[in-house]
A and B are shown apart, each in its own frame.
Chain A
Amino acid sequence: MDGIIEAISSFASQEPAIYYLIIGIIGAVVLSAVVNIGAMYVIWLEVKLLGDFSARYGPNRVGGRWGLLQIVADAIKLFTKEDSIPASADKPVYVWAPIVASMATMLVAAAIPFGALYFNGKYYPLVVANMDISAFYVEAALSLLVIAAFMAGYSSNNKYSLLGAFRGIARMISYEVPMGVCVISVAIMAHSLNLAEIAQNQTLWYAFAQPLGFGIFIVALITDLGRIPFDQSEAEEEIICGYTTEYGGIRWGLILFQEYNNMLLGSILLTLLFLGGWAGPIIPVPGLSIISPLIWMFMKVVIVLWFLIWTRSALLRLRIDQVTDLGWKVLLPLSIVNLAWAVVVGSYFA
């Protein structure tokens, strides 16, 4: 085992370009499968949990008692639906919007450590592009979905879509700044902008070290993902389906999929930044000890997802002007307070 790692390391240092090409291709194939299947089961989890939270069964026929294959059935339905493009739409932009959304998701997936392997007392993060600035990069790439949403909304030539697109952008820009400041605060404490290192360096989870930043980041994350109480860009009762109103069949399915992909990736990001990443006691069973960080990571991510879905059934939707006000007038000053706190506490610990 050690020999293999040695060999890989030496190859990587000699031929970095080829090494990263191979890693990239393998990673892209594996991750696109993982992320897409992951998104399917995030959807399943959401449907099932929302059922529980409202005294309903949720999916319970297709794929056994838990309806595990319901989402596959839904996907098959989407594939067999007619693909119709509205006559008045701006066709190239309309067609490219779901593709851009998918590209944005994959860009995030490339830089996020999905977990780590524990081996010989060392953690090996499972990440394709282990960049020095991956925290900054991921935060930037997460907001790319909004660009896709804007493309979708503006090209549809539909009033609901138009409002949805503008709302989506407004929502994003109000929370981008506080979110960025939160990431900076974390980076200050971790002395690094690399996500794997941030996760690794958390002796005390940053959720406890900077609770204010944790709260702000959750709010900003929910906003970025466009979930209740911040789902104004597709508020069904106001603007039907927001920017996806004119999308149907597989095109709509793709956009929906990317949203849930991003939800998964966002939860992973939250776990990495604030919940200690894959940190957790190593299970002292020979086979399991290697993947025990992965197990911890998985459990934390599921808990975060559960929390996001719980929020959806518990809260009401805010009005869009209240959302932007909250972002600019409350969260931005608070995030700066948090930054100061991080500097003070960070200096103290250092």
Chain B
Amino acid sequence: MAGEPMAVDYYIPLIIFMIMGAIVPIAALAAVKIIAPLKPSRKKRSTYEGGLCPVRDAKIQYSVQYYLFAIVFVIFDVEVLFLYPWIYVYANKALQQFMVFGMNNAVFEMLLFIVVLLVGLVYAVKKEALRWV
């Protein structure tokens, strides 16, 4: 296929796709503006909650436990992100220089990293950080 274009050029189509992704729904909404009837009323625009008026509104402080949950995710996701560059090291023989316990250094380092990750997971579970709200 194509030769070796500059890395940034790959992303030109992405921008175009993003714009296209916005154009389609906006066009649909514009079409609806023209086609569909519009008779707004107070009742139509009220919030649906089982057919009755809601008791207060939905803008509440969501449970703190939930955010703990989210923070654990952020930690783990970043940790997983570190594995992606590691694939490069693993695939590239030139970067694997020495052996540890019969494994090459890339594998060993990864295993060490995963053990740390698992310890973190066990800690999070034990601390009930992953308990659902």
Q: Give chain B nearest CB distance to A157 CB in angstroms.
A: 5
Q: Is A129 in contact with B1, judged by CB distance below 8 angstroms? A: no
Q: Which of chain A's residues 1-49 have a Cβ closer than 8 Å to chain B?
A: 8-9, 12-13, 16-17, 19-21, 23-25, 27-29, 31-32, 36
Report if A107-B17 is in contact (Cβ < 8 Å); known contacts: A36-B24, A166-B62: yes
| Bound complex: CA A84 to CA B24 (Å) | 19
Q: Is A181 in contact with B11, judged by CB distance below 8 angstroms? A: no
Stretch of A206-214, A215-223, A248-256 at the chain-chain interface: A248-256
Q: Is B21 in contact with A170, judged by CB distance below 8 angstroms? A: no
Selected from B5, B42, B90, B130, the residue in CB contact (under 8 A) with A12 is B5
Q: Is B21 in contact with A106, judged by CB distance below 8 angstroms? A: yes
> Does B99 touch A at the CB level, under 8 Å?
no
Q: Which residue of B lies closest to A187 (CB)?
A: B87
Q: Give chain B nearest CB distance to A332 CB in angstroms.
A: 6
> Does A291 touch B at the CB level, under 8 Å?
no
Q: Which residue of A lies closest to B38 (CB)?
A: A82
Q: Give chain B nearest CB distance to A101 CB in angstroms.
A: 8
Q: Which of chain B's residues 8-42 have a Cβ closer than 8 Å to chain A?
A: 9-22, 24-26, 28-29, 31-33, 35-40, 42
Chain B residues whose C-beta falls within 8 Å of the C-beta of A124 in the assembled complex:
1
Chain A residues whose C-beta falls within 8 Å of the C-beta of B2 in the assembled complex:
8-9, 12-13, 16, 19, 130
Report if A328-B83 is in contact (Cβ < 8 Å); known contacts: A87-B46, A104-B21, A106-B21: no
| Bound complex: CA A321 to CA B132 (Å) | 5
Q: Is A88 in contact with B57, judged by CB distance below 8 angstroms? A: yes
Report if A184-B16 is in contact (Cβ < 8 Å); known contacts: A86-B46, A107-B21, A339-B114: no
| Bound complex: CA A191 to CA B90 (Å) | 8
Chain B residues whose C-beta falls within 8 Å of the C-beta of A250 in the assembled complex:
28-29, 31-32, 36
Total contacting residues, chain B, CB less than 8 A: 72
Selected from A13, A110, A158, A166, the residue in CB contact (under 8 A) with B47 is A158
Total contacting residues, chain A, CB less than 8 A: 89
Chain B residues whose C-beta falls within 8 Å of the C-beta of A79 in the assembled complex:
28, 31-32, 35-36
Q: Is A191 in contact with B91, judged by CB distance below 8 angstroms? A: yes
Chain B residues whose C-beta falls within 8 Å of the C-beta of A27 in the assembled complex:
13, 16-17
> Does A289 touch B at the CB level, under 8 Å?
no
| Bound complex: CA A173 to CA B72 (Å) | 9
Q: Is B130 in contact with A343, judged by CB distance below 8 angstroms? A: no
A interface list, Cβ under 8 A from B: 8-9, 12-13, 16-17, 19-21, 23-25, 27-29, 31-32, 36, 79-88, 98-99, 102-107, 109-111, 124, 128-131, 133, 136, 156-162, 166, 169-170, 173-174, 176-177, 180-181, 184, 187-188, 191-193, 240, 245-246, 249-251, 253-254, 320-321, 324-325, 328-329, 332-333, 336, 339-340, 343, 347
Across the A-B interface, give the 8 residue pairs with the lowest CB-CB distance, nearest first. A106-B21, A24-B13, A321-B132, A16-B5, A13-B3, A12-B2, A103-B21, A24-B16
List 5 interface pairs A-B (beta carbons < 8 Å), by A numbering. Answer: A28-B20, A82-B39, A103-B18, A162-B60, A184-B87
B interface list, Cβ under 8 A from A: 1-6, 9-22, 24-26, 28-29, 31-33, 35-40, 42, 44-49, 54, 57-60, 62, 66, 69-70, 73, 76-77, 80-81, 83-84, 87, 90-91, 107, 110-111, 114, 117-118, 121, 124-125, 130-132
